[in-house]
Amino acid sequence: MAQAAILTQNIPLEYFPAPTEEEIHPWYQASRVVLSQPLLRTWDVHSAVQPTSTNCMYSRCPCQLLDTFEARALSLAIHAHDNNQTPTAYISFTACARVAQRLALTRARTRGSQILTVINPRVRAAHGRYLISTVSEMHYYGVRDPHEMSYQDYQDEYLCLWVVEEEEVVGHWEWDELAEVDDWYEAIILPAFREHDERFTARLSGIVLDV
Instruction: Tell me the per-residue pLDDT of 111-151, one tens digit each, with 9 for 90 and over.
Output: 999 999 999 999 999 999 999 999 999 999 999 999 999 99
Q: Over the stretch 153-176, which tens digit does the pLDDT of each residue have?
A: 999 999 999 999 999 999 999 999
Interacting residues of 173 by C-beta distance below 8 A, sequence separation 6+:
115, 116, 118, 188, 189
Is 4 contained in some domain?
Answer: no
Is 8 contained in some domain?
Answer: no
What is the C-alpha to C-alpha distance for residues 160 and 126, in angstroms, rounded to an integer? 14
Q: How confident is the model at residue 206 (pLDDT cuts 50, 70, 90)?
A: confident
Number of domains in the chain: 1
pTM of the model: 0.88
Is 107 contained in some domain?
Answer: yes
Is 191 contained in some domain?
Answer: yes
Strands, E, within 76-143: which ranges? 90-94, 115-119, 131-133
For 93, the domain range is: 20-204
Percent of the chain clearing pLDDT 90 (strictly above): 80
Distance of CA 49 to the CA centre of its chain: 13
Q: Looking at the predicted structure, is the pLDDT value of residue 197 above 90?
A: yes
Is 146 contained in some domain?
Answer: yes
CATH number of the domain to which 189 belongs:
3.90.210
Is 86 contained in some domain?
Answer: yes
Residues shown for the chain = 211
What is the C-alpha to C-alpha distance for residues 197 and 121, in angstroms, rounded to an integer? 10
Is 3 contained in some domain?
Answer: no
What is the C-alpha to C-alpha distance for residues 107 and 81, in angstroms, rounded to an integer? 17
Is 11 contained in some domain?
Answer: no
